[in-house]
Amino acid sequence: MDSGQALIVGGGIGGLTAALCLQQLGFVVQVYEQTDSTNSDGAGIQLSPNATRVLHQVGLVDALASISSKPDSIDVQHWRSGGRVTTIQLTHGGEADQSSFPYYHVHRRDLLACLTEAATHASIPIHRGKRIDDVGVAENHAWISGPDTHEKASLIVGADGIHSSVRRSLFGPDKPIFSGHVAWRGIVSAESISSKTLATRAVLWWGPQKHVIHYPVRGGQHINVVCVDRAPHWNNESWTEPGDKMDLVAAFGGWHDDVTQLIGGIDPRACYRWGLFNHPPLKRWGRGRVTLLGDACHPTLPYLAQGAAMAIEDGAALAHCIKKCASIENGLAAYERVRRKRTIRIQQISRQNGYIFHLTGTAAWVRNRVASLMGERILRHAHDYNVFASVDEYFKG
Ligand SMILES: Cc1cc2nc3c(=O)[nH]c(=O)nc-3n(C[C@H](O)[C@H](O)[C@H](O)COP(=O)(O)OP(=O)(O)OC[C@H]3O[C@@H](n4cnc5c(N)ncnc54)[C@H](O)[C@@H]3O)c2cc1C
């Protein structure tokens, strides 16, 4: 196996996971992150077993457990009556079952802090306030450059999110297509909610042309709330665009009291609204010794809660593929083949879910019947995936 220096552009969930995986493999890793601190925005993240499998592998068993809530299930409910459509079990097997990995709800900031601490503990430098604008490919190495950075390495990973400079530098600007959906999100203090049961439950509400999901984070101190609505057009793909809470209240008028109560509890100063875009799959993920991962190459609509999970799986697959090959180039080619198929499938299912969640009339009735029969099998294909086994399988031919 060929190793050396690896430079990661982007110190988000995907970049830091990749840094830990590559360092375990023997690379000397450095991370370049444009922001100055880990104080990212306040959204929650659902971490499914396919992702926690990887995070456990990089040594985050206890650290992750300490920042997470562990839900047993998520209820799907009718938008107005509150009637239960189905309950999706999120934990399979018992603690003694070695093959089962936990499902967690975490605060994004806590997860980033946990990954950052692990990187620091592993002596991986994270250069903050370093924006990278350009990458280049040469024989047997590649380079990155930014306003005050110019470094070369044997491997460069673009983990710099939806507006990736690395992707643009390799392939030019991409052309996202507005999905017709906008998502509102906010964090609610559990103390402000009179019903303690509501504050501790994870619920997905299906309504006509809209849906809402909420779950507790930070040991139940806060509730993460995301409400998805339609819009005729949208220009800016940003997660941090402020939204007017009064518009949110109006958009979900007539919904069940629980939803009204949660929306009422969102701090108007921290109420965000973002347009959701489809990104057609890239034909290639990299060139020479440069590759991409996570949202930089396959941003995923949030209706399967798998965007961060895909970035985490990518990091593990990248390191595992390079480990299996004699050269970095061959490892990158294998990585791209293994991951392209999986991520395209997850992008497709996420897109379909956006359609299914919002059905109306008879179609919604049929959907509810099917969902009640399927239960947790709805999510099994995503959650049971073992990225290490899948790479092994690829190399067996
Ligand atoms: C509200 C919300 C809820 C979500 N919920 C879930 C969920 O429940 N489960 C799930 O799996 N996914 C979820 N997702 C998706 C998930 O957050 C993303 O898929 C995930 O963050 C992608 O990780 P990433 O590391 O690829 O990119 P990012 O998290 O975007 O990280 C990219 C990093 O690169 C840095 N960067 C960008 N450009 C540069 C540059 N030029 N130079 C240096 N650094 C740069 C950024 O500052 C950032 O730190 C959600 C997304 C949102 C918005």
User: Which ligand 1 atom sits closest to the C-alpha of 32?
Assistant: 43
Nearest CA to ligand 1 atom 15: 307
Supply the residue whose CA is at minimum distance from atom 48 of ligand 1: 12
Q: Compute, in angstroms, the gap from residue 258 CA to the centroid of ligand 1.
A: 29
Interval between CA 294 and ligand 1 midpoint (Å): 8
Cβ-based neighbours of 220, under 8 Å, separated by 6 or more: 69, 190, 199, 200
Torsion, Cα of 53, 54, 58, 63 (10° steps): -60
Ligand 1 atom closest to Cα of 160? 34
Query: Does residue 54 sit in helix, strand or coil?
Result: helix
* Whole-number Å distance between alpha carbons of 259 and 252: 8
User: How far apart (Å, rounded) are the C-alpha atoms in residues 266 and 272?
Assistant: 10
Give the ligand 1 atom nearest the CA of 310. 11
pLDDT by position in tens, the chain (length 397): 556 999 999 999 999 999 999 999 999 999 999 999 766 666 899 999 999 999 999 999 999 999 999 999 999 999 999 999 999 988 765 444 556 899 999 999 999 999 999 999 999 999 999 999 999 999 889 999 999 999 999 999 999 999 999 999 999 998 899 999 999 999 999 999 888 888 899 999 999 999 999 999 988 899 999 999 999 888 777 767 788 999 999 999 999 999 999 999 999 988 999 899 999 999 999 999 999 999 999 999 999 999 999 999 999 999 999 999 989 999 999 999 999 999 999 999 999 999 999 999 999 999 999 999 987 788 888 999 999 999 999 999 7
Catalytic residue of the set 32, 103, 104, 215? 215
Nearest residue (by CA) to ligand 1, atom 14, is 307
Q: Which residue's CA lies nearest to atom 4 of ligand 1? A: 45
Domains and CATH numbers, the chain: 5-71+104-174+280-355+377-396 (3.50.50.60)
DSSP-assigned letters across all residues of 241-300: -B--HHHHHHHTTTS-HHHHHHHHTB-GGG-EEEEEEE-PPPS-S-BTTEEE-GGGT---
- Best probe residue, ligand 1, of 8, 33, 239 (max atoms within 8 Å of C-beta): 33
Report how far Cα 200 is from the mean position of its chain's Cα atoms.
22
- Ligand 1 pocket, residues with Cβ under 6 angstroms: 9-15, 32-35, 43, 45-46, 131-132, 159-161, 165, 185, 239, 294-296, 302, 305-309, 311
Spell 259-275 as b/e; 16+ CB within 10 A means b: bebbbebbeeeebbbbb
The label of the residue with tokens 């079990």 reads 89
Atom number of ligand 1 nearest to Cα 14: 25
Cα–Cα dist 163/237, whole Å: 9
Which residue's CA is the closest to the ligand 1 atom numbered 21?
Answer: 308
Cβ-based neighbour number of residue 63 at 10 Å? 18
215 is catalytic: yes
Helix runs in the chain, H state only: 13-25, 49-57, 61-67, 108-121, 165-171, 196-200, 245-251, 257-264, 307-324, 328-357, 361-374, 377-383, 387-396
Please tell me the residue having the least CA distance from ligand 1 atom 39: 160
Angle 13-25/49-57 helices, nearest 10 degrees? Answer: 40
Separation of 125 CA from ligand 1 center, angstroms? 20
Contact 383, 49 (CB under 8 A): yes
Report the atom number in ligand 1 closest to the C-alpha of 274.
53
User: Residue 396 contacts by C-beta under 8 Å, 6 or more apart in sequence?
Assistant: none
Q: Which residue has the tokens 């690896």?
A: 6
The distance in angstroms from the start CA to the end CA of the chain is 19
